[in-house]
């Protein structure tokens, strides 16, 4: 059993705290937000995450998980402090580190015994050194400490499983002794542990997220070419993925990536490159393709409906991906905003994200389920690939709509079946339809060559 303090009870903090408690450690989770801490004490979770509530309850009951807003209380017996505060996007795309600074200052002012300070939030390369300086400068009297970078790789919706079964743990520190102690905390997870220096660990996190975002933009570019040439990107991705050097993950084409990490991490990495005189042309293309994908939804609607002013569009899903209520940088926000600029009326349904959406989106009518959503819509757009949308009674959906236009932003339906049912259906990169010959291929000159 180790005494651990976790600063911040957002996605990363609460999952880290609950999982380390479940491994038998004693955790004090601190947040400066009194309401979140009061709620946690009453069993109300700060986020929607499958399996979290029961894990928190179990560990609170066992006396291994405590909540506080007081740094004095949280650090009293702690040996390890995990910084898990938000690092939102700043003005030029660089990460905003004010919360990391606040956490580091507070830790420095209160610590009265040696500590290992571990950074879990995604922070620009060099932040570990910066945190060490802040702690040193803000200590009332010198007390020993080390800084370790241990970036999180937790996907929302599967964060607990990702924590307990990681592909790897990355640890960066200038102190091998501190890195070893943090490595020991992770031994029960039985995953490879990569030990390196602070800056390299910080870069591993950015490079990993940027690479995954690149895969998504890559397959979206291929999807757009597939559409022009009459090939099916889903089958292309499947065929590519069997190559062990490629794999099947993160090759789902559609409306593009969103969320609290990929958009800001790619932008922050590009910003770091630029500030240091490098030209991040690949990262820029990744971002450009992603922005374009969101707007392609609008173009597809215009192709089918013409003028969008006065039309009613139903958004199926608002969260940036399924199994979360998170709408940070969700494609739904961009699509809704643009549709409203064009004068369309918006209806929306999401199984869990409507409360969150209601706080930031205006002039939207929320529906009670997908069937209710379809009522009177001139078009439906699949924005989030929730499972409950995959096997709907599409006949009932179509009958409820004013016009049977369906734009499938996540490629969850079978194009042939949807068209047979009478939908005007468009997806992303699914040009091939077994009833048609691929549009415009071979081009006329090639066709003549082939014949001769
Ligand atoms: C964060 C980072 O933004 C991201 O870069 C990283 O990779 C994962 O961690 P998340 O856990 O989703 O993401 O953050 P958020 O949901 O914003 O939660 C942060 C929590 O820290 C909030 O509850 C906030 O109240 C708390 N906080 C913030 C503090 O306790 N102290 C502070 O000084 C600032
Ligand atoms: C991400 C990282 O995967 C995780 O390691 C951590 O660093 C936090 O950030 P998260 O943002 O929760 O996790 O979701 P993720 O599953 O990675 O999906 C990100 C976005 O990409 C979603 O909008 C998703 O819909 C989209 N996506 C994902 C695609 O468009 N296509 C794909 O093939 C995969």
Looking at the structure, tell me whether residues 148 and 262 fall in a common domain: no
In a domain, 18, yes or no: yes
Looking at the structure, tell me whether residues 234 and 307 fall in a common domain: yes
Q: Catalytic residue among 19, 150, 261, 377, which?
A: 261
- Is 84 marked active-site? no
d(CA 41, CA 82): 20
Query: What does the pLDDT read at residue 435?
Result: 41
CB of 334 closer than 6 angstroms to any ligand 2 atom: no
> Are 162 and 57 spatial neighbours (Cβ–Cβ below 8 Å)?
no
CB of 262 closer than 6 angstroms to any ligand 1 atom: no
In a domain, 436, yes or no: no
Looking at the structure, tell me whether residues 20 and 122 fall in a common domain: yes
Looking at the structure, tell me whether residues 85 and 47 fall in a common domain: yes
> Are 154 and 164 spatial neighbours (Cβ–Cβ below 8 Å)?
no
Residue ranges making up the domain that contains 103: 3-198
In a domain, 274, yes or no: yes
Domain end residue (candidates: 154, 178, 198)? 198
Residue 301 Cα to ligand 2 midpoint, Å, equals 25
Query: What does the pLDDT read at residue 407?
Result: 98
Rounded to 5°, angle at Cα 451 from 450 and 452: 95
Per-residue pLDDT of the chain (452 residues; tens, 9 = 90+): 779 999 999 999 999 999 999 999 999 999 999 999 999 999 999 999 999 999 999 999 999 999 999 999 999 999 999 999 999 988 888 889 999 999 999 999 999 999 999 999 999 999 999 999 999 999 999 999 999 999 999 999 999 999 999 999 999 999 999 999 999 999 999 999 999 999 999 999 999 999 999 999 999 999 999 999 999 999 999 999 999 999 999 999 999 999 999 999 999 999 999 999 999 999 999 999 999 999 999 999 999 999 999 999 999 999 999 999 999 999 999 999 999 999 999 999 999 999 999 999 999 999 999 999 999 999 999 999 999 999 999 999 999 999 999 999 999 999 999 999 999 999 999 985 444 444 444 554 544 444 44
Mutate to test the pocket of ligand 2, among 119, 216, 268, 386 (most ligand atoms within 8 A of CB): 216
Question: Phi first, then psi: what are they for 67, rounded to 5°?
Answer: -125, 140
Residue 426 Cα to ligand 1 midpoint, Å, equals 38
CB of 262 closer than 6 angstroms to any ligand 2 atom: yes
Which bound ligand lies closest to the C-alpha atom of 122? Answer: 1
Closest ligand 2 atom, residue 384 Cα: 25
> Are 13 and 87 spatial neighbours (Cβ–Cβ below 8 Å)?
no
CA 116 to chain centre: 28
In a domain, 432, yes or no: no
Query: What does the pLDDT read at residue 164?
Result: 97
Closest ligand 1 atom, residue 33 Cα: 25
Domain count, the chain: 2
In a domain, 65, yes or no: yes
Query: What does the pLDDT read at residue 437?
Result: 45
Looking at the structure, tell me whether residues 175 and 261 fall in a common domain: no
In a domain, 374, yes or no: yes
Mutate to test the pocket of ligand 1, among 86, 95, 213 (most ligand atoms within 8 A of CB): 86
What is the CB neighbour count within 10 angstroms for residue 373? 23
d(CA 369, CA 316): 9
Looking at the structure, tell me whether residues 266 and 191 fall in a common domain: no
CATH code at 166?
3.40.50.720
Q: What is the pTM of this model?
A: 0.93
């Amino acid at each position: 059993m180790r005494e651990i303090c976790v600063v911040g009870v957002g996605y990363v903090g609460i999952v880290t705290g609950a999982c380390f408690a479940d491994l038998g450690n004693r955790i004090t989770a601190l947040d400066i937000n009194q309401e979140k801490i009061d709620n946690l004490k009453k069993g109300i979770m700060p986020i929607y995450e499958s399996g979290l509530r029961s894990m928190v309850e179990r560990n609170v009951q066992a006396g291994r998980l405590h909540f506080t807003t007081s740094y004095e209380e949280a650090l009293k017996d702690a040996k390890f402090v995990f910084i898990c505060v938000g690092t939102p996007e700043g003005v030029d795309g660089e990460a905003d580190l004010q919360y990391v600074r606040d956490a580091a200052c507070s830790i420095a002012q209160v610590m009265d015994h040696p500590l290992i300070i571990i950074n879990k939030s995604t922070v620009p390369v060099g932040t570990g050194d910066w945190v060490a300086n802040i702690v040193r400068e803000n200590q009332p009297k010198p007390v020993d400490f080390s800084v370790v970078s241990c970036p999180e790789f937790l996907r929302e919706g599967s964060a607990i499983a990702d924590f307990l079964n990681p592909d790897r743990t990355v640890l960066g520190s200038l102190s091998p002794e501190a890195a070893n102690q943090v490595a020991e905390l992770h031994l029960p997870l039985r995953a490879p542990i990569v030990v390196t220096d602070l800056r390299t660990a910080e870069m591993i996190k950015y490079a990993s997220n940027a690479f995954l975002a690149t895969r998504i933009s890559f397959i979206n570019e291929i999807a757009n070419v597939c559409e022009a040439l009459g090939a099916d990107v889903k089958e292309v991705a499947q065929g590519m993925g069997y190559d062990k050097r490629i794999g099947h993950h993160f090759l789902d084409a559609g409306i593009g990536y969103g969320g609290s990490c990929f958009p800001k991490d790619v932008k922050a990495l590009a910003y770091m490159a630029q500030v240091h005189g490098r030209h991040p042309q690949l990262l820029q293309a990744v971002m450009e393709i992603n922005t374009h994908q969101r707007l392609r939804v609008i173009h597809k609607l215009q192709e089918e409906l013409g003028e969008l002013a006065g039309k009613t569009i139903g958004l199926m899903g608002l969260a940036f991906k399924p199994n979360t209520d998170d709408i940070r940088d969700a494609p739904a926000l961009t699509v809704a905003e643009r549709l409203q600029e064009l004068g369309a009326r918006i209806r929306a349904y999401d199984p869990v994200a409507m409360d969150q959406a209601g706080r930031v989106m205006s002039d939207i009518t929320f529906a009670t389920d997908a069937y209710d959503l379809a009522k009177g819509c001139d078009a439906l757009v699949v924005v989030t690939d929730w499972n409950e949308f995959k096997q709907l009674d599409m006949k009932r959906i179509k009958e409820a709509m004013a016009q049977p236009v369906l734009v499938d932003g996540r490629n969850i339906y079978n194009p042939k079946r949807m068209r047979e049912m009478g939908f005007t259906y468009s997806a992303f990169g699914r040009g091939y339809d077994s009833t048609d010959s691929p549009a415009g291929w071979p081009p006329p000159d090639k066709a003549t060559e082939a014949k001769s």
